[in-house]
Structures are given as C-alpha cells and as structure tokens.
Structure 1
C-alpha cells in the first residue's frame, strides 16, 4: 500500500486534518499531513510565492517515502493545496516571483507521486491575488497533463450561489473562481472550477468545502469511500 501525504488548504493548519489522516491510515495507507500552521501561510498572502509551502511539502514527501521505504505515494491537496501540488509535481522551474532560482528544485516531483487527489480545489480563478500563480499552473500544466499520473478531482455540491441571505458568499466565491455565481459548488469552490479536463472528476452531493464547516466535508466518513478507493 502506498503512503499518503495531505497538503492543507489555504490558511489552514495541519491539526484539522487529523481525523482524515487517521481514517486513511485505518484504511491501510499510512498518512501524514504537511505540518503547517496558519502563520506559515503569511508569507504567501497577496498572491506571493508558494515556495515556503513547497519547502514543507517536499520535506514531508521525502520523509514519508523514507519512513515507508516507498518509491511513490499518494498526494492529497485540499483547496489551494491541490494547485500547489500541481506546481510541485511539474517540471517547469517555479521562479516567477524571483525569490528562488532553478537550483532550488522544489518541483519536478512527478516520479514521487502515483495519484494526485484534489478536494475542492479551485483549479481556475479570476481572483487577482491568485492569478499569477494559477496562470503559471494552467499555462504550463493544462488539465490532467501527465498520462502516467492518476488525477482524481473531487467537487462538492451543497450550496447554490445566489444573491440572497445564506448564499451570497457562495455566489461571490463561485463568480471569482469560474466566472459564474449562479451555479453549484461546495460553498467556496464551484464544481466547474474543481474539475480538470482529462481527470477522474467526481461530484459528491451535500459536501461542504472546509473541515471546519458544519455538516459533511470531503473527509467525512459518510463520503470518504467515494474517493479514497483510488488510493488503494
């Protein structure tokens, strides 16, 4: 069984993923979460470089491979963690912010990853603070680009975006990600933004975006088997 690494979503800390980590480990895939704290995201605010996150991701991946004497693993990216994972996997040097050079080598990790699972990831976005990073991802790695890597992109369908009480946040977020507010999604990421061309695209009814959300999210026991089977 391949080991698994979870990369948290934007501004999230590792501790909220502990129930998911434990559930996946119980299924037979030894799972580790990149040990991020909320403050670790601060240098990335405002659309800046994701190098601080990539450094911790790379350390965690290499440790998981060594600890399990494995050559490959599963990589799960929740929310922004999904498109950051695509930077990590890809071979093009991520030097667009001028903070590192090509010798840094916090990318080109495709040989280490057998399966990439993205949970509620906005793979497209019109947000000005994510545009530079996401343009880099989608210009260089369109869709499920690598044929020898399995992409599983999971979307939630729980909140329809409308300009009314209780749905305004979803409307605004969907509009910024996929350009359409009146659509379905997980409350933050529209279904259209969470899927990739060529990937195994899954939509799960009733799932909300965050592990902090009330009710069911992507890692809840009620829906875990819908996508975790691809790790096995």
Structure 2
C-alpha cells in the first residue's frame, strides 16, 4: 500500500494552492494531507527570522497522518522553501533561530521514507535567507540521511538573461546561486535545486509556482515524472 504523504507549501504560500496536487496524489492511491498553512502564517518568518512556526505545523500534520493511517513512515513533499524546511525537520541538531530561547529538535528522519523537493533553493546568496539555509547546508549536507530517499526536482524552463521577459529569472537565479545566466524554473536555478547524493531530476517546461500560468511541478504530466519515486 502506498505510504501516506504530506505536502509542505512554499514560502508565503497557503495550503489551498496545493489542492490539485493533493487530489492527484489521492487519486493515485496516496493518502495525502497538505500542512494547513495560510499566507499570514509566514509573517513571523519574514526577514530571515526562524521558521519555527512552520516546523510546528509540519510536525502536527505528520503526527496526524501517521495516527490516522496507523503508519510508521510517510512521504514528505516540500515545494520551494518547504524543501529545505523539511530538511531541518528531519534533523537532530537543535534549531535555535535568532532571538529564540528554546531550541526546536524534531529528529524526524526515521519517520520519512522519501523526501521530494520541488524547485527548492537548497543554497542562497540572499542575506535574508542565508542564516537558515547555511544551518541546513552545514549540518545536513547533501542527501544526508541514508535511511531517507531524497528526490530533488528542478525545472528547465527559463534561461536567465537581462532582457524583458526573463529579468525576474535572471535576478532570482543570481540571488540564489550567484549567476543569472543559467537555466531554471523562473525562480530557482537547476544547480540550486539539486543535492549531492540525491536522485536529481530535471523537467522541461515547468514553472515554479502552483499559481503560475501554464504547468508547474504538480500538474498532471510533470507529476508522472516524480511520483514514481514515492514509496
């Protein structure tokens, strides 16, 4: 029987944007819940502040689905920032954000069979996100936990150049990996979306966000390319 599956939304995104993906997974036999985030739930994390409120909601959702289906493990899907936040959740190192007194420790990797990251920037040059991403990179480099299957999905859709129509991509890629002239999904460059030791996938023509025009990672056709890796 397919494992229960949890979806963690991307930065400043709400659960409602992932309803189609959730339904598609359910129709394919995967009992699925999306962490019930609202856009305003991200406000305490702005400016590079700790993502503790998101980790807490993720933990509640994981425990809920484990109990609901009497399961010992799940699949975890993290879109965009949800991918690297999921890597914090897997870890056993105390996560103590700036200004926090009580560290968070989840050590959830025994509960996760497969972690899928969709368009996740696993590195960044942007000063507001570097503290959190450096914490992940330094403590859990690459596909860190050998008991977890890491699947990192990138999009090859827009090549960043300094001209109308691709300026946003160029700027976002440059902030993420240090160069704008590269391929990505319009927000995350391919080289930032992959991890050493993971099963790294590139899908052509997918946009970064579920709210984008056209198709994104969770649309029916791209979904076929990575759903096969779920346990």
| 2:95 equivalent in structure 1 | 94
| 2:142 equivalent in structure 1 | 143
1:64-213 equivalent positions in 2, closer than 5 A: 64-102=65-103, 104-105=104-105, 107-213=106-212
| 2:26 equivalent in structure 1 | 25
CA offsets per residue over residues 16-35 of structure 1, 9 Å max, x none?
10000000011111000000
List gaps (5 residues or longer) in structure 1: none
| 1:50 equivalent in structure 2 | 51
Q: Helix, strand or coil: the match of 2:82?
A: helix
With over 3 angstroms needed to count, the CA separation of the structure-2 counterparts of 1:55 and 1:100, relative to structure 1, is farther
Shift, 1:223, TM fit: 1.3
**Distance in 2 between the 1:208 and 1:8 partners?**
15
Q: Helix, strand or coil: the match of 1:223?
A: helix
Contact 2:124–2:176 (CA<8 Å) still a contact in 1?
yes
Question: For the aligned residues, what is the CA RMSD?
Answer: 0.8
List gaps (5 residues or longer) in structure 2: none
Shift, 1:148, TM fit: 1.1
**Distance in 2 between the 1:44 and 1:186 partners?**
24
Runs of 4+ in 1 over 2 A off after TM superposition: none
Shift, 1:101, TM fit: 2.1
Shift, 1:99, TM fit: 1.7
CA offsets per residue over residues 98-142 of structure 1, 9 Å max, x none?
42424x43x211111110000000000000000000010000000
With over 3 angstroms needed to count, the CA separation of the structure-2 counterparts of 1:166 and 1:113, relative to structure 1, is same
**Distance in 1 between the 2:99 and 2:67 partners?**
31
Shift, 1:96, TM fit: 3.4
| 1:224 equivalent in structure 2 | 223
